[in-house]
Amino acid sequence: MKSKPEAEDGVAAAAVDYGNRTIVLVGLMGAGKSSVGRRLAAALNLPFRDADTEIETASNMTIPDFFELHGEAAFREGERKVIARLLEEPRHVLATGGGAFMDPETRRLIAEKGCAIWLRADLDVIYKRCMKRNNRPLLKSGNPRETLQRLMNERYPVYAEADIIVDSGDGPHEIVVDKIISALATSASEGHLHENAGNE
């Protein structure tokens, strides 16, 4: 687990009380957002929402079909609306699709209403997990490993804007859940200290 550098993140994190904010998992496909999110929600006794599933329910079609029929731009628009709606709901754990956090408006809303947690994983872990299923439209054409590397190059600097960064390796999802819970607890106690310091 690694939070952002002190100067950039320590004070900002301390000033934010994540206690009543929706926990938003971001990261590349295959990072484990849905699997970790479901377990994290159970551990924290919070509802779990998956933005991709919500899009599938709202459109009554699978994501590959949505991409095929309406194209990526329409998907991104739907994704932005669905996440904006979910962020209005009471506190929950929200798994987002890998491209969601790349949208500036979605990032702004998450910064305002949520706590973004980037599940960071390396290419080997991502590639291995993605190859287990054939449901990612972005990996349907071309060389999937190269596509994933390109997406990592484009997206990792943006995912790094998340409030908390947690490494997601090859091990059991429970380990990642524990790391997230302790990262949240750390930022909560920093917030508490900060608040006390401000009141003195």
Map tokens 């009554």 to a residue.
Answer: 60
Query: CA–CA separation, 146 vs 139, rounded Å?
Result: 10
Tell me which of 32, 37, 97, 114 binds ligand S3P, using CB under 6 A.
Answer: 97
- In the complex with ligand S3P, which residue's Cβ is closer, 14 or 109? 109
Tell me which of 13, 23, 29, 183 binds ligand S3P, using CB under 6 A.
Answer: 29
Least distance in angstroms from the C-beta of 149 to ligand S3P: 13
25 binds ligand S3P (CB under 6 A): no
Query: What residue number has its CB nearest to ligand S3P?
Result: 97
Q: Six-digit token pair at 4?
A: 């952002």
Residues belonging to the chain? 200
Which of the residues 44 through 83 are near ligand S3P (CB under 6 A)? Answer: 52, 63
Q: What is the largest CA-CA distance in the chain?
A: 60
Q: Which stretch binds ligand S3P (CB under 6 A): 38-46, 111-119, 120-128, 135-143?
A: 135-143
- In the complex with ligand S3P, which residue's Cβ is closer, 119 or 177? 119
Query: CA–CA separation, 152 vs 159, rounded Å?
Result: 10
Tell me which of 49, 92, 107, 136 binds ligand S3P, using CB under 6 A.
Answer: 136
What is the side-by-side strand order in the sheet with 48-50? 2-3, 164-167, 114-120, 22-26, 93-95, 48-50
Interface contacts to ligand S3P, rule CB under 6 A: 29, 33, 52, 63, 97-99, 136-138
